[in-house]
Structure 1
């Protein structure tokens, strides 16, 4: 989700305190800022490259210790700008806003680290209209009864359950269709980046990696890309390289292509999760000499013509 949507959700959460969202309400302001502050790890890009940023993004800054520290600092900052506002109530709702950021990142396909490891449930799209409507209702509906708050929580829970069911149905239909033609191993189902009723998938078969889209309403399956899994003695070298270790930690869905040239061997890694503008989002290249020894490697974030050297050896 983008920071503004996170902020709107944080503002909506502040209404559970019984206060009205306004510019002079430290509870509302704290919750909104708290819901946006975890993405402050974007400053990493100012002092480093995209590889370092992607390695740490949605990491420590989204963890419970960091959220607690951020919430404390925000509460202290608000107490300076709004004398008399320093209270546990402001801190608590600021922390709730910050927690909402990490929780919603875990619910989508990017994931986040609340404790020690990054988790993701692949349920929500990056922008979810239903969640946004619930948030807008909470912000602009004025004073609400306990029953209204309970109804919103229930609707949210039912919606998550529905999304889980949709994901399971998509998994069943995709697995069934792929297994008719290939020796099926597993499939990863991801929420579409564009529409809530569509799902992306990465299927792993004995012979191929298959990437596609599935429309739950029309039950139409579209193949976007299909890669043959070529056996090679050099694939293990990729896993042992720094680029390979980064990629394996970065993505669970990788395809490796081996291209042999006269004087060197090229291993191309593709992160199969995100397909945008007729290309996958992240790539990597590892060069070996004819003896299979690592020469150099590069990470290509967002664009294939962006080359970030990876230190090997």
Structure 2
């Protein structure tokens, strides 16, 4: 989820913590728990700082180690220890329990996005991405804001948050039901599909679609059960050439391939440079595919420059690569 949603979820969890008699009766513990759940609801996303280095490292590692099983255990211990230095009279067990719940909830809800997490590490490096909730879901965010407003105006925080979580439970079930219906509609629209990726948008009944058959890639959108196919690409395996092998060893293309399950490729020549471009088919927007990895190689198959990330125009991509066709 996005940072704003994680923040309101942390605050809401602080309200639910009032159900704990120890938290409700001990001011120091209450203060520490409120701080713990808010910090814990943000802690796994500390790896966002990797974007300051480069996109390749960010793409390969974001929601990786910081969202793993060891991290879910370690974050609450570190946060609890730090808060006890400030509020030593707080109950350490209850502080740890609620902080652990905040960290666990952060990682758990991220699983439902299309991006997903490596939540099963160290047992598996597989990305767990259920793809039923958009990274920013206005209904989830709005429901939390409404619940927090009720709390601010005097409603019981425990009952308010229990009602909130109960409604969200049914909302998640509804999202799974709609996703299942969309996948069924895709199979009826495109016979012989071997792989279907259905990704949510901010609109409840609108979904992005990327699908494979034995011969083609298909890209489109679903509006309820209505499927619109926008693009159809012939599937071509990557050539087994020195150029491709050298390009795939580049950090940017390597990171892209490790993350993207469905992409196509292009090879172009500009003067004495060759361009290898990988294009993720999951994120079509306004007739453009913004998530790409591009490498320019010379005639000796040496990478001259490369880039991976989100680019919404060719001009911006050329600026990133510091390269011109002329």
Detail structure 1 runs of 4+ shifted over 6 Å in the superposition: 20-24
Q: State the partner residue of 1:25.
A: 31
Distance across 2 between alignment mates of 1:62 and 1:91: 18
- Once the two structures are superposed, residues 48-80 of structure 1 have per-residue CA deviations (whole angstroms, 9 ceiling, x without a partner) of 211111111001111232233222222233233
- What are the equivalent positions in structure 2 for 1:20-169 lying under 5 Å apart? 25-46=31-52, 48-116=53-121, 117=125, 118-136=127-145, 138-139=147-148, 140-141=150-151, 142-143=155-156, 152-169=164-181
Distance across 1 between alignment mates of 2:75 and 2:166: 29
- Once the two structures are superposed, residues 250-300 of structure 1 have per-residue CA deviations (whole angstroms, 9 ceiling, x without a partner) of 11011112336786654321012223455323212345677xx74326233
Give the drift of 1:242. Answer: 2.1
Give the drift of 1:232. Answer: 6.0
Distance across 1 between alignment mates of 2:50 and 2:239: 37
User: Does the residue aligned with 2:229 lie in a helix, a strand or coil?
Assistant: strand
Q: State the partner residue of 1:249.
A: 258
Q: Is the 8 A contact 1:300 1:307 kept in 2?
A: no
Q: Is the 8 A contact 2:276 2:295 kept in 1?
A: yes
Q: State the partner residue of 1:11.
A: 11
Higher normalized strand content (fraction of residues)? 1
Q: Is the 8 A contact 1:41 1:61 kept in 2?
A: yes
Give the drift of 1:133. Answer: 4.4
Normalised by the length of structure 2, the TM-score is 0.78
Distance across 2 between alignment mates of 1:231 and 1:262: 25
- Once the two structures are superposed, residues 71-112 of structure 1 have per-residue CA deviations (whole angstroms, 9 ceiling, x without a partner) of 222223323333422511111111111111111111111101
Q: State the partner residue of 1:213.
A: 221
Distance across 1 between alignment mates of 2:187 and 2:245: 28
Q: State the partner residue of 2:302.
A: 295
User: Does the residue aligned with 2:190 lie in a helix, a strand or coil?
Assistant: helix
Distance across 2 between alignment mates of 1:138 and 1:171: 33
Give the drift of 1:145. Answer: 6.5
What is the number of equivalent residue pairs in this alignment?
A: 298
CA separation of 1:130 and 1:254: change in aligned 2, threshold 3 A: same
Q: Alignment RMSD, CA only?
A: 3.2
Q: Is the 8 A contact 2:14 2:33 kept in 1?
A: yes
CA separation of 1:301 and 1:122: change in aligned 2, threshold 3 A: same
- What are the equivalent positions in structure 2 for 1:180-191 lying under 5 Å apart? 184-191=193-200
5+ residue gaps, structure 1, are 309-313
